[in-house]
Structure 1
Amino acid sequence: MSRTSDSHPLRIAEVKAGAGLVGVSFCPGKVQPDGASGPWARDLATDFAAIRDWGAAQVLTLIEDHEFVALRVQRLGEEVDAAGMRWFPLPITDQSTPDHRFLSRWPAVAREVVPGLRDGGRVFVHCKGGLGRAGTVAAWLARHLEPALAAGAAIARVRAARSRFAVETPAQAAWVGEVAPVWPAKDAGAKARGCESCYRATTYRVNTTPTIDLRIGVHSQALRDLHARRGVDSSVFITAWNPFGDDRPLEWNARALDHLRRHLRGSGLGFEEGAGVPDGSGRVPEQSLLVPGPDRAAAANLCAAFAQNAVVYCGPDAVPELLWNPLFAVADARG
């Protein structure tokens, strides 16, 4: 006999995230005659009434398009709206880690979700079974709200609340620790701008043949020529090293830059290898990428998605300029 929303009311595992709570469960309203744990025939409206009554302000849906059909929840977004909550679809492939689809959307979602959690709010996160994808994002959210929380501790917190099987794969567990939370601390923007002279005392080197050296505020004909060859009007010079200026081990930085490369490839963007080379000998050059194509808004989104204080944006005039993380203004205002 199929289990229903009446016979098996929705159970929401509560994961502490700062002052707020992340609720984790399987897909509301799913109809699964051949479910791994037995057949389901749930009701969307009933389940979302329970989520609303639990106190969620937002719903993060991590299933892919084909799963809406397979689980018979094509009206899921409509039911979220009807229940008075905000819906954010953030698709992740089953048994996998968040990719370019998730990270490219996350900065805009974070503007609403993270401040709400900091104010003691609640957000509901689900995938199909409520273990792998939902557990991974819940652990990552806990790290957003508690910067001192280690990835292993965040995962343990999720497993204690939901299931020892939550965060299912080694790759998902690694992702929680290797991808920096994108939310800056309060006053991070002011502190970063206080170091603006460091950005200006850096050569942004592109490893083309011949090499292109960029400086903030200095026109580069070589860059303009590269734009013309690629058929673009703009580019961004970005790294994934040392999120928010927090020095990380070289091994961590190398993995983070690999995540950035995969993100760009998944987004259909090419890139040239490079490095930010500080004047003098006090700091290690930061491996970086020049990405032809992104406009100012897309460059700002990349900056936020990879937790950088700033990126170097190069517009049609080929004069590099600093572009600060757009989340600084929100974090400084909300705390």
Structure 2
Amino acid sequence: MSGFVIHAVPVLRGILAIAPLPGAGGDYDADLEHLRDWRPAMVLSMTEAHEMTAVGAADLNHAIVAMGARWVHVPVPDFGVPDAAGTAIWRKRAPLAISALRGGGRVLIHCRGGCGRSGMAALRLMVEAGEPAEAALARLRAVRACAVETSAQRRWALQGTAPGDVGPAGRDG
């Protein structure tokens, strides 16, 4: 059985979800079929290219586009946050994700395990969509307890929010 589980929360009029990297559980084709059936408008990959290659997902970008979804790649090291170039990509592409959610679409964010990096990006989108940070993190962790794994990830996700708006991040928070 595939380990590809989609953890979803409603945001605006759409659905925002986090998941592991397709193929990370050993069955790339089954994971892609599951993702295709979920019908995302956009998929954000928060993994580095070598991680995708290691699980047989080097062509993920082509597979996502072939299913009619937009694909955005923001490479982030495991347990890390986007660097300046990744943050620039985020700032350019996040409004497209918000627009998809506002229009009732589905946005899926993945990292290797579907926890830290994907949770960080989902939290940031929820906050950018106007949700209070503390409530957004609680809702996200209600469906995926490991979402947002480090203090640095929490800080990146909450850039622009009031200090102290959200509690401990998790492992090192």
> TM-score, normalized by length of structure 1?
0.46
Q: Which amino acid aligns with 1:86?
A: R
Please report the RMSD computed on the Cα atoms of aligned residues, expressed in angstroms.
Answer: 2.2
- Residues 18, 87 of structure 1: alpha-carbon distance in 2 compared, 3 angstrom cutoff: same
Alignment partner of 1:133 is 2:113: no
5+ residue gaps, structure 1, are 1-6, 31-39, 182-247, 252-335
Alignment partner of 1:155 is 2:137: yes
Q: Which amino acid aligns with 2:47?
A: I
- Which stretch of the first structure deviates more once superposed, 120-129 or 71-80? 71-80
Corresponding residue for 1:55? 39
Corresponding residue for 1:302? none
> TM-score, normalized by length of structure 2?
0.85
Q: Which amino acid aligns with 1:153?
A: A
1: CA distance, partners of 2:66 / 2:140: 29
2: CA distance, partners of 1:124 / 1:151: 19
Shift of 1:48: 2.2
Q: Is the Cα contact below 8 Å between 1:91 and 1:101 reproduced in 2?
A: no
1: CA distance, partners of 2:154 / 2:34: 29
Alignment of 1:277-288 (within 5 A): none
5+ residue gaps, structure 2, are 165-173
Corresponding residue for 1:102? 86
Deviations 1:148-176 (A, max 9, x none): x33222111111112x2221112212322
1: CA distance, partners of 2:137 / 2:73: 23
Alignment partner of 1:10 is 2:4: yes
Q: Which amino acid aligns with 2:38?
A: W
Q: Is the Cα contact below 8 Å between 1:16 and 1:142 reproduced in 2?
A: no
Corresponding residue for 1:25? 19
- Which stretch of the first structure deviates more once superposed, 83-92 or 132-141? 83-92
Name which of 165, 171, 174 aligns with 2:152: 171
SS at match of 2:71: strand
Count of residue pairs the alignment pairs up: 165
SS at match of 2:92: helix
Corresponding residue for 1:112? 96
Alignment of 1:1-335 (within 5 A): 7-8=1-2, 10-30=4-24, 40-43=25-28, 45-145=29-129, 147=130, 149-162=131-144, 164-177=145-158, 179-180=159-160
Corresponding residue for 1:303? none
Q: Is the Cα contact below 8 Å between 2:2 and 2:26 reproduced in 1?
A: no
| Percent sequence identity over aligned pairs | 35
Q: Which amino acid aligns with 1:167?
A: V
1: CA distance, partners of 2:141 / 2:38: 20
Could you say which structure has the greater relative contact order, defined with CA pairs below 8 angstroms and 6 or more residues apart?
Answer: 2
Deviations 1:67-123 (A, max 9, x none): 122222111112112222111111111101222122211233134221111111111
Q: Is the Cα contact below 8 Å between 1:19 and 1:120 reproduced in 2?
A: yes
1: CA distance, partners of 2:95 / 2:155: 25
* Structure with higher strand content: 1
SS at match of 1:159: helix
Q: Is the Cα contact below 8 Å between 2:2 and 2:31 reproduced in 1?
A: no
